[in-house]
Structures are given as structure tokens and as C-alpha cells.
Amino acid sequence: MKHLIPEFDRLKARFPAGCESSLVLPCVRRIQEERGFVADSDIDGLVDYLGVPRIQIEEVLSYYTQFRRAPIGRWHLQTCRNVSCSMCGAERLMAHLREHLGVGPGETTADGRITYSTVECLGSCGTAPVVMVNDTYHESMTVEKLDALLKELG
Amino acid sequence: MPGKQLLMTFPVTATSHTLADYRARGGYATLARALSQLKPEDITKEVTTAGLLGHGGAAFSAGRKWSVVHLNDGQPHYLCANADEGEPGTFKDRWILENAPHLLLESMLIAAYALQVRHAFVYIRGEFDLPYRRLAGAIEEAYAAGYFGERILDSDFGCDIVAYRGAGSYVCGEASGLLSSLEGKRGYPRNRPPRLTVQGLYRRPTVVNNVETLANVAGIVANGAAWYRTFGTAKCPGTQLVSISGHIARPGVYELEYGYSLEKFLYEDCGGMAGGKALKALVPGGISTKVLTGAEIKGVTFDHQSLAAAGSSVGSGGMIAIADGTCMVRLLQVMLRFYHHESCGQCTPCREGTGWMHRIIDRIVAGQGRPGDLDQLIEISKRNDGTTICGMGDAAGYATIGILAKFRDEFDYWIEHKHSRLAGNLEVPAHA
Ligand SMILES: Cc1cc2nc3c(=O)[nH]c(=O)nc-3n(C[C@H](O)[C@H](O)[C@H](O)COP(=O)(O)O)c2cc1C
Ligand code: SF4
Ligand code: FES
């Protein structure tokens, strides 16, 4: 985490003085971007750097669905299962993924490549159904487009 | 076009979101004029007179909210744009973030000056990638051009801004939950009073407004309240970005002038229902607003008064069009699963109520519904109303009561026959 501190310092400069606590979410996000998850040593480092209670960081890690304490597959496929996506074929995509990957939501394929999850509305309902792969939205998905996408993922 | 437009006034191109293009459209001239010629209180007065309402769901007067902040109380004040956009069916703020980020920033600077805010924030949902990159890019462009930082445009006014990313939580869209999150904590909503404009972020006076609400400020300050009031209706001035999805021929984001005919919007602007089906129901403003049946929208116009008279509301502008043949039992199941999943768990009626409702609907769908289940769902919904810290407990109830009041026969059918009358369809096959 140490090499990220100059970056964290720059971010801090745009916050009001004394509001280090606010940096918990952006720092955790940045650490996760690099490591893929948040390790114990990262929590130690943040407690030191921000001066916030350890419990605050642990609560944040367990509260927000995007944060994780353990590694996942190289590709994280997240299918939106909310109203508009369900109305435009998300359930067929989910059934297809389960069959194709051989795992259900919350699980990782045996080769460790792909983690599959479901998510709630991604704010992209006009181009439903939506599948998120890592940070990228794939919109107006069909089973055919999903197959092509799965082939592309290395 | 569904009426006159305030925000979607320029063609979207590969560069229309950039500072250069925004300046070519006259951008940041209003900020310059405000800082050199207007007093902070003049701006709040103009926004109040314009009748600008909140566009995030609750439709509270923006000017009245701002007026609560005392300019000379010796405390720091904060401003936060709510870009959490989590209400299912809503994707309108994304249009502003992606296509007009500088309009939001200029408006926020003017609002920050009016409220004497030194530090402003945009709280943006964690999943938004392109919208975040567009916003962050615009912020850097604006800093480099001297619109943020100390002594902006040679005035005494200084302001910093941070695009703050959420991390996957619907209740962080609720204003007080948002501020808890912005303090780097769990997104727990807080009891009121105190109001956030009295004790908000770090217990300082804080204004939280929806992205679209704020984006309207630059136009109002540039052209005046009277001009703004030439849009919309006398009681409901302005426009609303509406995101429409579901079984509709042309989904997307449209700007509707308040007072515009709903039928005209659906059947002309949006091309009618997908596959030429009939409209069974319409969610007017995010799933937390009560559904209207196809018959109920006749003669309704898109504004707060007309939708309230029809028994629903404008909400977040997230419309979902539902075609004939769609199973409302399965639809409510998707909604209740969502509310249960998103309840933050602080309040017993919401935590237990959403879980209980979810279990009941799952049981009905599994063919094990009991005769008293529907009354039980209504009873739990009513018990949630008004007994919880934030509006989410209520929202789950509104969605449930709205659907049950109008489509109860489908639920009775499923309980009696142990299967859907409509084959559990959520997707409606074009040929069916
Ligand atoms: C559970 C819940 C979720 C909400 N989500 C959002 C949201 O995503 N975006 C938003 O602008 N307002 C949301 N709101 C409304 C905010 O609490 C608040 O009223 C709004 O941001 C104020 O801005 P406005 O007056 O400009 O509309 C939500 C409210 C509740 C109860
Ligand atoms: S109503 Fe629900 S979501 Fe809101 S604070 Fe209470 S438990 Fe949390
Ligand atoms: S319902 Fe899937 S993006 Fe909104």
C-alpha cells in the first residue's frame, strides 16, 4: 500500500482539513484495484495512515458489496437481475451462464478464471439487459453476444 | 421532442462533454457574472422564485432547502451532488454526467458561492465507470482552467471539489446515508431532526441535491426565474429528464416539459410498446412509486399535480413500461428481493418487514401460497410506513400496495392454482 501514499496525499488536499475519515472508501477502492482484494496488511496500513479506528475499515469492507477481503477470478461477470433487465431477458442470460460456467452466483469457475455474480439495477436499464465485466458495462446483451464475450475473455 | 428543453439543448457528439465545447456553448460565463455581480443571497432568491424542485424523488423546493443555511454562522458549509442513481429504472443523471459534466460543475460552483461552500462533492455510484471518468476528466479540466481552487476568476471565492465513489449500496442514495458514506463509514441513514442543512456532513450545514436539480441552476441564474417559469406548468415549472425502459419500442433518456401528455410521450415519442403490445402498467418514477394501469394513465400529464391526482408520483423519473402478458407476481418478487437485499438493517420494521415480504412472495411463487398471504403483505407494508429512519421502508410498502391494489387477481390465481396465470412471463415474446 505504501507506494500509493503520494496519490492518497494528493486526494487528501482536496478534502477539508480534519476529514481523513472520508478517505477510507477511496483508499480501499484504490488498494483493491491494485491487489484485487483488501488484505490484513492493507487495513493495518490504512489505520496508520488515516488514524481511523480499525473497526471502521472492517465495517466498510463488510457493508459495501463492491469491496472484498479475498481474491476472485480474473474476470468478474455481474448480471443485473433487477426489474428492467429481468423484463428484457436477464433471466435467460443467468440460466445460460450457470450452464456454460457450471457455477452459480457468488461462485468462481474451477479453473479460477471467472467469478459470476448477480447485481441490482446498474442504472443502465434503457440498454437492458446489462452484464458488467470487471469495470465495463456490456449493454443490450443477448445469449449470442454473451457467448462471443466469454470466448474473448482470456 | 416532448415539449421545450432546458438541458438537452445541444447535439451529443464525440467532444460535446469537453470544456472547449462547453465554453463554445457559453459555458462558465454565468459563473463569471455571478462571482462579479451577484450576491450569494440573490442567487438563492432567484432559485426559490424560479420554483426549482428537487429532481431526486422527493420534489422539495431547492431554494427553500438552501435558505436554511445561514451564510454568516462562522461554520464551514458543504454541498453534495447526489449521483448515486440507484432507484431501479433510473438512468437519467448518467446522461448529465456523461454528456454535460461541465454544466453540473458550473452549476455547483454557483450553488457553492450562494451557500458559501468551500468544499463540494459529487457522490457517484461505484459501478458507474464512463460517467465517473467523464466527471473526473471534467473536474481536472476545470481545475486547470482556474474554475476550482483558490480565488476563482480573480474573486475572493475559492472552492474544491471531489468526485467521491460509492461502493454498491442503494441506501447511500438517501441523503443522510450518502453523508455517512462520504464520511468514510457504512452508509447508514440518520434520524432527523436535525436536518442535514443544520447538521450534515461532519455535523456541518450541508446541502444535498440531485445531479439534475443542480444542473438547472446555471440556466436559472443566467436567464432568470421568470424565464424558467415559462417552462412547464404554473404549479410545476421546468422539465424533467425521464429515463424509460422495459417493454417500450424506443427506450432511453428524454427531457419532458412538465405538463406533457403521458400518452403522447409513450405512443409518439417512444414509439409505443415493444412489439405493438398494449400497455398493461406503467411505473412512473422508479419502482418505489406506485404503478398505474394502462387505463389510469389516460389524460394524465407528466407533472407532480397530475400524477398525484392519478395516485402516484414523478419520483426519480425512472419510467418502466410493462406490456400486456407480463406476470405482476414475478415482477413484485423481483422488487421485494431487491428491497430485502438493500435494507441496511438499522430499523426493525424495514429489516424484518422486507425479509418477511420477500419470503412470502417466494413462497407464493413456489406454489405454497396461503389464503392470508396477500393481506399479510399489505399489513406489513402499512406497518413499515413512517416507522423507519429513511424512506426505504416506506418505498417497499408503496411498491407492494401499488401492485396488489391493481393486480390482486393474478396473486389470488397463483395461490389457488399454484402457478402463474401468465406463465411467469417477465419478458413478453413479440409474437405472443
Ligand atoms: C432509499 C432511498 C434512495 C434514494 N436514492 C437516491 C438517488 O439515488 N439519487 C437521488 O438523487 N436521490 C435519492 N434519494 C433521495 C434523497 O434522499 C434526497 O431526497 C435527494 O438527493 C435530494 O435532492 P433533491 O431535493 O435535489 O431531489 C433516495 C431516497 C431514499 C429514501
Ligand atoms: S428504513 Fe431500512 S434502509 Fe432505511 S435506515 Fe431503516 S433499515 Fe436502513
Ligand atoms: S434493471 Fe438492470 S440496469 Fe436497471
Task: Give Cβ neighbours of residue A28 (< 8 Å, ≥ 6 apart).
Answer: A38, A42, A46, A57, A60, A61, A67, B167
Chain B positions touching A24 (Cβ under 8 A) are: 184-185
DSSP string, B284-350: -SSTTSPPEETTTTTT-EESHHHHHHTT---TTSEEEEEETT--HHHHHHHHHHHHHHH--S-SHHH
Please tell me the residue having the least CA distance from ligand 1 atom 25.
Answer: B54
CB contacts < 8 A, A to B, total: 159
Say whether pTM exceeds 0.90: yes
Question: Residue B429: is its pLDDT beyond 70?
Answer: no
Q: Which atom of ligand 1 is nearest to the CA of B176?
A: 17
Cβ atoms of residues B427 and A89 within 8 Å:
yes
Instruction: Show the DSSP H helices in B69-200 as ranges.
Output: 93-99, 101-115, 130-144, 175-182
The whole-angstrom distance between A98's CA and the closest CA on chain B is 19
The yes/no answer to whether this complex scores an ipTM above 0.95 is: yes
Question: Residue B432: is its pLDDT beyond 70?
Answer: no
Contact A123 B85 (CB under 8 A): yes
* B53 vs B63: CA distance, rounded Å: 8
pLDDT at residue B431, as a whole number: 46
Q: What is the B290 CA–ligand 2 centroid distance (Å)?
A: 20
Using pLDDT thresholds of 50, 70 and 90, give the confidence band for residue A96. very high
The whole-angstrom distance between A108's CA and the closest CA on chain B is 20
Mean pLDDT of chain B: 96
Q: What is the B182 CA–ligand 1 centroid distance (Å)?
A: 15
Q: Which residue has the cell 418505498?
A: B395
Q: Where is A44: in which H helix or E strand?
A: helix A40-50
Q: What is the B307 CA–ligand 1 centroid distance (Å)?
A: 19
Q: What is the B389 CA–ligand 2 centroid distance (Å)?
A: 6
Q: What is the B388 CA–ligand 1 centroid distance (Å)?
A: 16
* A153 vs B16: CA distance, rounded Å: 32
Cα angle for residues A130, A132, A133 (degrees, 5° grid): 140
Nearest-CB residue to A23 (from B184, B245, B337): B184
Contact B245 A126 (CB under 8 A): yes
* B91 vs A123: CA distance, rounded Å: 5
Contact A83 B89 (CB under 8 A): yes
Chain B positions touching A21 (Cβ under 8 A) are: 183-185
Using pLDDT thresholds of 50, 70 and 90, give the confidence band for residue B430. low
Please tell me the residue having the least CA distance from ligand 2 atom 6.
Answer: B347
Q: Provide the CB-side half-sphere exposure for B245 (13 A, CA).
A: 33
Chain B positions touching A26 (Cβ under 8 A) are: 164-165
Contact B119 A22 (CB under 8 A): no
pLDDT digits (tens, 9 = 90+) for B366-401: 999 999 999 999 999 998 777 899 999 899 999 999
Among residues B141, B120, B143, B106, which one has the least CA distance to residue B221? B106
Residue to substitute in B186, B350, B351 for testing ligand 2 pocket (most ligand atoms within 8 angstroms of CB) = B350
Q: What is the B89 CA–ligand 3 centroid distance (Å)?
A: 6
The whole-angstrom distance between B186's CA and the closest CA on chain A is 5
Nearest-CB residue to A25 (from B129, B167, B243): B167
pLDDT at residue B154, as a whole number: 97
Among residues B395, B407, B246, which one has the least CA distance to residue B327? B407
For B74, the 3-state DSSP assignment is coil
Share of chain A above pLDDT 70, in %: 100
Question: Residue A29: is its pLDDT beyond 60?
Answer: yes
pLDDT at residue B234, as a whole number: 96
Question: Residue A2: is its pLDDT beyond 90?
Answer: no
Q: Which residue has the cell 424558467?
A: B228
pLDDT digits (tens, 9 = 90+) for B91-107: 999 999 999 999 999 99
Among residues B126, B111, B141, which one has the least CA distance to residue B38? B111
Please tell me the residue having the least CA distance from ligand 2 atom 8.
Answer: B344
Contact A83 B335 (CB under 8 A): yes
Q: Which ligand is nearest to the CA of B128?
A: 3
pLDDT digits (tens, 9 = 90+) for B39-86: 999 999 999 999 999 999 999 999 999 999 999 999 999 999 999 999
Ligand 2 site: residues with CB under 6 angstroms? B 171, 189, 343-347, 350-351, 388-390, 392-393
Question: Residue A1: is its pLDDT beyond 90?
Answer: no
pLDDT digits (tens, 9 = 90+) for A61-78: 999 999 999 999 999 999
pLDDT at residue B1, as a whole number: 75
Contact A66 B126 (CB under 8 A): yes
